[in-house]
Amino acid sequence: MTDIRYLAPRTLDEAVGAFAAAAGGARILAGGTDLLVQMRAGVAKPGTIIDIKKIPEMTAIEDLGGGAFRIGAAVSGAVLAEHAGFRKAWPGVLEAVNLIGSKQVQGRASPGGNLCNASPAGDSVPAMVAAGAVVTIQGPNGRRELPVEKVPAGPGRTNLTPGEIVVSFTLPARPKGSGDAYLRMIPRTEMDIAVVGMGVNLVLEGGVVKAARVGLGAVAPTVLLVEDAARALIGSRLDDAALEAAAAACRAACKPINDKRGTIAYRIKVAGVLLKRTAAIAARRAGGN
Amino acid sequence: MNDMTNKWIGQRTIRPDGADKVTGRAQYSADVNMPGMMWGKVLRSPHAHARIRGIDTSKAEALPGVKAIVTAKDIVEFPVDKSVMLGIQDMRWMCRNVMAREKALFHGHPVAAVAAISEEVAAAACALIEVDYEVLPHVIEIEDAIKPDAPILHEWNKHEGKSSNITGTMVLKTGDVEAGFKDADVIVERSFTTRPVHQGYIEPHSCTVSYAADGRVTIWSSSQGQFMVRAMTSLLTGIPQSNIRAIPAEIGGGFGGKTIIYLEPVAVMLSKKSGRPVKMVMTRDEVQRATGPAPGSMSTVKIGAKKDGTIVAAQATFYVQAGGLPGAPLRGPVGCSLSAYAIPNVLSVGYEVVSNRSKVAAYRAPGGPHGAFAAESVLDEIAEKLGLDPLDLRIRNSAKPGDKALYGPTFGQVTFKETIEAIKAHPHYKAPLDRNPRPGVKRGRGVASGFWYNAGGESSVQVNITEDGNVVVTTGHPDIGGSRASISNVVAELLGVEHSRVNVIIGDTMTIGFSNLTGGSRVTFASAMVATASTEKVIGQLKERAAKIWNIDAEAVKWEDGMALPAGDNAGKFPPLSLKELAAKANEMGGPIGTQVQLNTTGADPGFATHVVDVEVDVDLGIIRVLRYTAAQDVGRALHPGYVEGQIQGGVVQGIGWALSEEYLYDKNGKVDNATFLDYRMPVCSDVPMIDAVMLEIPNPKHPQGVRGVGEAPIVPPLAAIANAVYDALGKRFSALPMSPPRVTERLEQP
């Protein structure tokens, strides 16, 4: 009954112009794996859909050297997985992106969409937070950059201003001894949504943690950067006491709800368990194994 | 005519529906479209429990594109004081389930329906219908519904003299349990709960209906019985059965949940009122909210045994959910849970409880898994207390031929022991189990058995020889578990022709004789029996034709390898006449060759199954995974082994979901909170191992091929088998399902 305008601009300026002009009546389409589901459910009723996949910058993967990468916001998980250099530098980010949905969904779903959907349970977000990714945003007033953890504002809400589009993620260079990992708890083995999601990124030197970042998902209105957990790990050899301190910091950071996907008590407990398990994988990767 | 040297019976022949399904050609009911077709949509109650004071459809009727609106007043009313049964369904409740009458009894209960030029217009019209609800307090769980001060769903219903949500009871009894328990050396009594689970068919309910100007109706729909669709639609619309042609579409799963109708009578009335064909397709959300799950249950089982393991007494009480309207499968737990055992003193009691959830429907061995979960868990504990192997305990107490079953009849063949021995001898049961393979990971092994009644009943099969000497078989049962493949194997075998020359189709209510539902593990049993009778008649006709051509007696002709031959030297010397040759001469020698046989079949002896399972528990996360699963079952004769294995594997996987992950979640307003396959967690492929199906082929002496029903018994043991394995792993018994990660974690923190 309702007409929907579909636009597929070739430049970011056109996209931003159209998005701003629609004054809230438009939605950005990357893979569409959230948007189309919301439209079918009657939750989203956009008057205009702006498909950003024809904008080269949004689908590019740029190797910046030394393990640093810039990833277009609309790059699909499946395409990212085919990039050998990225796979080697950021296995944790990659495994997180490719836990989104099924194989078919992974051919469409993008980290940009996952971030802008602003679900606290989005799988790629805790890994991107742990990675220290910085997001490039373009809007009617030009470009700006935000740390990825600053983008979500709450379930389904972001800190983007009207007309702004997430363009790309920039991941920093990888010093020697770097490793990242992502684990999530789901009741099934696949095709599920994280009850808790955990991203850990470590830099080790001689077995000692030099740098650490911990991203924690599905336990609060937004994905959390758990700085206390990182502090507990830095300077340690990942001994049991340090891991338990980091796990305790993760548990303390949780502000979960009881819902159909998990209870408060369960989510808090799992956050601690996953910190230890994810850190172990990240450390193994950092050690070159 | 039936042994292991058969050419087609027992072969994994290509499935007749396979090519259509993998190429997308199969016609499911949502694939049927008609010129001028309208879309029907149902307005559903937003409340869990509400009196309907009035419905104003005027605004919806005024919306352009709306062609018809139906409410309860368009559906035939059956007064609550007089039962009218059709199969297991009482039309008093059916008429109130397809369209709410006095009250909306659950969130999602149909209140009105609209036919309009598009789905969008129909949905917009539904939103314009004004229903005056008096919202009432609601009750969801059994334990709340049976409390003295619970909100009452049906004021007219009395239990023990008082208004109550207990709408039915069933008692089976033998011996004297009080006296029996006095003789016991060990007694274990435990209580259990299971949650409602949905059948989870991938294809939602749908139908396309055309009510013609002359009053004749055609229904294309997905169901487990086109004759059930015809009869129920007739009763609920007042249209005679002879005017209703119900055409079974290809079915995308049923598991019992399509032995009942939801949309057809509503679509018929929309089509009648609009004068247009009407199509209705449920969304997944509607399927989950408003179609029948299996009930939840609350049960207590007490079993007493002697030191040597002989069971002397058993007492069981089952509270079984019905949903908003009566119709819980009490005979499942009450009759099945203890029937595989020879126990002298038994008292088994069931109570049906209504509450504000969707009306339950049959689901694979209805009620059987609930009862077995309780009884087989208690047996495991008895075996442990007595220091006996749990399989030996079951062998010792197995019912025997000639025993009187708790539910009435006297057992003929009893093949329970064979299933237990098959598991005992299986490499799985003997394989060493690494109980603590890694820190934080524990493994355990469990066993359980199961019993299901099985059934025979009405079946019709037409066998026709085509003019070019091939075979067309028409049956009256929707094929949900390989009945077409099984029947084609049987007919090809009996006629002695290549399997590729036999085509089996499913007739509609006007092209084939009455055939009962596909359900109760009955269809392959019944239709193979009737197909045999029908084919044998056709072979008789073929022999008569050959006799006529050779001018000898029909008795002097035999049928072998697809040809008529003189029975012996005395009959004379004639070259054989093939099916093709006889078909070519059919019309000059007496007319078309073919016949239909219609029978009410009997002789479906019960099914027995014994399972063993290994589980692994991630202790810190509370996640249970099934590592290995072996299911032994007496299948009588596997006409098509691939399908028989599929039945066993499918039943087990559904049982795994029931045990570990599936449940309905309700919010505080009594609304289903997880009406999607994302949050209603059925297992996906990667959640389960390949299920090893051990098919014991012990021929059923009452069936021409030895067939025994196989579809339901496999879902009976898994709940208890998995719970017993989890106990073996963790040393803690789980009396509440599902054993989901938060529950396991919580239980591990308890003593």
Q: Which of A188, A193, A260 sits opposite B687 (nearest CB)?
A: A188
Q: What is the pLDDT of residues B387-437, one digit of tens each?
A: 999 999 999 999 999 999 999 999 999 999 999 999 999 999 999 999 999
Phi, psi (degrees; rounded to nearest 5) at A37: -65, -45
Does A244 lie at the interface with B, CB-CB under 8 angstroms?
Answer: no
Interface test with A, best of B624, B687, B737, B744 (most A CBs within 10 A): B687
Checking if the pLDDT of A190 tops 80, the result is yes
Closest by alpha carbon to B421, among B610, B274, B170? B610
C-alpha to C-alpha distances, B182 to B5, B56, B301, B312, B386, nearest whole angstrom: 54, 65, 16, 9, 17
Q: What is the dihedral of CA B88, B93, B95, B98, to 10 degrees?
A: -90
Q: Map tokens 């609800």 to a residue.
A: B133
Does B681 lie at the interface with A, CB-CB under 8 angstroms?
Answer: yes
CB within 8 Å of chain B, chain A residues 174-203 = 185, 187-193, 195
Minimal CA separation from A139 to chain B, in Å? 35
Same domain, yes or no, for A158 and A67?
yes
Interface test with A, best of B673, B681, B747 (most A CBs within 10 A): B681
Structure tokens that stand for A176 in this block: 């020697």
List of chain B residues whose C-beta atoms are within 8 Å of the C-beta of residue A191? 678, 684
- For the B32-136+203-252+258-290 domain, the top CATH level (class) is alpha beta
Q: Do B679 and A261 touch (CB under 8 A)?
A: yes
Q: Do A187 and B623 touch (CB under 8 A)?
A: yes
Same domain, yes or no, for A225 and A271?
yes
Residue B5 — very low, low, confident or very high, per pLDDT cuts 50/70/90? confident
Minimal CA separation from A104 to chain B, in Å? 15
Q: Which of B621, B687, B746 sits opposite A270 (nearest CB)?
A: B621
List of chain A residues whose C-beta atoms are within 8 Å of the C-beta of residue B741? 185, 187, 195, 266
pLDDT of residue B529: 98
Closest by alpha carbon to B338, among B364, B304, B298, B362? B304
Minimal CA separation from B687 to chain A, in Å? 6
Chains A, B: CB contacts within 8 A come to: 50
Checking if the pLDDT of A176 tops 80, the result is yes
Minimal CA separation from B281 to chain A, in Å? 15
Q: Do B620 and A273 touch (CB under 8 A)?
A: yes
User: How many residues are listed for chain B in this entry?
Assistant: 751
Interface test with A, best of B684, B688, B749, B750 (most A CBs within 10 A): B684
| C-alpha span between A253 and A233 (Å, rounded) | 16
Q: Which of A192, A263, A273 sits opposite B621 (nearest CB)?
A: A273
Does A93 lie at the interface with B, CB-CB under 8 angstroms?
Answer: no
Give percent above pLDDT 90 in chain A.
Answer: 93
Does B651 lie at the interface with A, CB-CB under 8 angstroms?
Answer: no
Does A150 lie at the interface with B, CB-CB under 8 angstroms?
Answer: no
A150 forms bridges with which residues in the sheet? none
Q: In this structure, are residues B664 and B357 in contact, taking their beta carbons and an 8 Å threshold? A: yes
Q: Which of B673, B683, B745 sits opposite A266 (nearest CB)?
A: B745
B25 forms bridges with which residues in the sheet? none
**The Cα angle at residue A173 between residues A171 and A177, in degrees rounded to 5:** 120
Does B65 lie at the interface with A, CB-CB under 8 angstroms?
Answer: no
Q: Do A1 and B124 touch (CB under 8 A)?
A: yes
| C-alpha span between A134 and B386 (Å, rounded) | 65
Mean pLDDT for A215-220 is: 97
List of chain A residues whose C-beta atoms are within 8 Å of the C-beta of residue B625? 189
Q: What is the pLDDT of residues B660-679, one digit of tens each?
A: 999 999 999 999 999 999 99
Q: Do B741 and A185 touch (CB under 8 A)?
A: yes
Q: What is B604-631 written as a DSSP string?
A: -PPEEEEEEEEEEEETTTTEEEEEEEEE
Q: Do B621 and A190 touch (CB under 8 A)?
A: no
Q: What is the dihedral of CA B374, B377, B379, B380, to 10 degrees?
A: 180
Q: Do B681 and A189 touch (CB under 8 A)?
A: no
Checking if the pLDDT of B130 tops 60, the result is yes
Mean pLDDT for B304-316 is: 98
Residue B2 — very low, low, confident or very high, per pLDDT cuts 50/70/90? low
Same domain, yes or no, for A37 and A82?
no
Mean pLDDT for B689-697 is: 98
Checking if the pLDDT of B283 tops 80, the result is yes
List of chain B residues whose C-beta atoms are within 8 Å of the C-beta of residue A197? none
pLDDT of residue A112: 98
Q: Where do the domains of chain B lie? A: 32-136+203-252+258-290, 293-454+605-749, 455-601
Task: Report the relative pairing of strands B89-90 and B85-86 from DSSP bridges.
Answer: antiparallel
B219 forms bridges with which residues in the sheet? B209, B246
Q: What is the pLDDT of residues A99-129, one digit of tens each?
A: 998 899 999 999 999 999 999 999 999 999 9
Same domain, yes or no, for A34 and A67?
no
Minimal CA separation from B111 to chain A, in Å? 21
Does A265 lie at the interface with B, CB-CB under 8 angstroms?
Answer: yes
Q: What is the pLDDT of residues B300-309, one digit of tens each?
A: 999 999 999 9
C-alpha to C-alpha distances, B26 to B19, B208, B416, nearest whole angstrom: 8, 16, 39
Q: In this structure, are residues B746 and B734 in contact, taking their beta carbons and an 8 Å threshold? A: no
Q: Which of A187, A190, A262 sits opposite B686 (nearest CB)?
A: A190
The domain in which residue A219 lies consists of 178-286
pLDDT of residue A60: 97
Does A130 lie at the interface with B, CB-CB under 8 angstroms?
Answer: no
Q: Do B742 and A266 touch (CB under 8 A)?
A: yes
User: What is the overall mean pLDDT for chain B?
Assistant: 97
Checking if the pLDDT of B441 tops 60, the result is yes
Q: In this structure, are residues B328 and B362 in contact, taking their beta carbons and an 8 Å threshold? A: no
Residue B750 — very low, low, confident or very high, per pLDDT cuts 50/70/90? confident
Q: Do B661 and A188 touch (CB under 8 A)?
A: yes
Q: What is the pLDDT of residues B216-255, one digit of tens each?
A: 999 999 999 999 999 999 999 999 999 999 999 999 999 9
Q: Which residue of B has its CA nearest to A262?
A: B742
Prediction ipTM score: 0.94
Residue A288 — very low, low, confident or very high, per pLDDT cuts 50/70/90? low
Q: Which of A1, A187, A189 sits opposite B740 (nearest CB)?
A: A187
Does A3 lie at the interface with B, CB-CB under 8 angstroms?
Answer: no
Q: Which residue of B has its CA nearest to A270?
A: B621
Residue A41 — very low, low, confident or very high, per pLDDT cuts 50/70/90? confident
Q: What is B523-544 written as a DSSP string?
A: HHHHHHHHHHHHHHHHHHHHHH
Q: Which residue of B has its CA nearest to A274?
A: B621
- For the B455-601 domain, the top CATH level (class) is alpha beta
Q: Would B293-454+605-749 and B455-601 be classified into the same CATH topology?
A: yes
Q: What is the pLDDT of residues B323-358, one digit of tens each?
A: 999 999 999 999 999 999 999 999 999 999 999 999
Q: What is the pLDDT of residues B179-198, one digit of tens each?
A: 999 999 999 999 999 999 99
Q: What is B134-178 written as a DSSP string?
A: EE-----SHHHHTSTTPPPS-TT-EETTEE-SEEEEEEEEES-HH
Same domain, yes or no, for A63 and A114?
yes
Interface test with B, best of A189, A190, A268 (most B CBs within 10 A): A189
Mean pLDDT for B524-552 is: 97
Q: Which residue of B has its CA nearest to A271?
A: B621
Checking if the pLDDT of A1 tops 60, the result is no
Q: What is the pLDDT of residues A218-250, one digit of tens each?
A: 999 999 999 999 999 999 999 999 999 999 999
Residue A261 — very low, low, confident or very high, per pLDDT cuts 50/70/90? confident
Mean pLDDT for B265-276 is: 98
List of chain A residues whose C-beta atoms are within 8 Å of the C-beta of residue B740? 187
What is B293-454+605-749's CATH number, 3.10.100.10, 3.40.720.10, 1.10.3720.10, 3.30.365.10? 3.30.365.10
pLDDT of residue B10: 96
pLDDT of residue B423: 98
Q: Do B741 and A266 touch (CB under 8 A)?
A: yes
Number of domains in chain A: 3
Spell out the alpha helix ranges (H) of B612-740. 641-660, 718-730
Give percent above pLDDT 70 in chain B.
Answer: 99
List of chain A residues whose C-beta atoms are within 8 Å of the C-beta of residue B39? none
HSE at residue B109, side-chain half, CA atoms within 13 A, is 35
H or E, element range at B179: helix B177-182
pLDDT of residue A57: 96
User: How many residues are listed for chain A in this entry?
Assistant: 289
C-alpha to C-alpha distances, B311 to B180, B303, B323, B410, nearest whole angstrom: 9, 7, 35, 20
Q: What is B95-128 written as a DSSP string?
A: HHHHS--SEE-STT-EEEEEEESSHHHHHHHHHH
Same domain, yes or no, for A61 and A163?
yes
Q: Which residue of B has its CA nearest to A192?
A: B678
Question: First-to-last CA distance in chain A?
Answer: 57
Checking if the pLDDT of A61 tops 90, the result is yes
3-state DSSP assignment of residue B671: coil
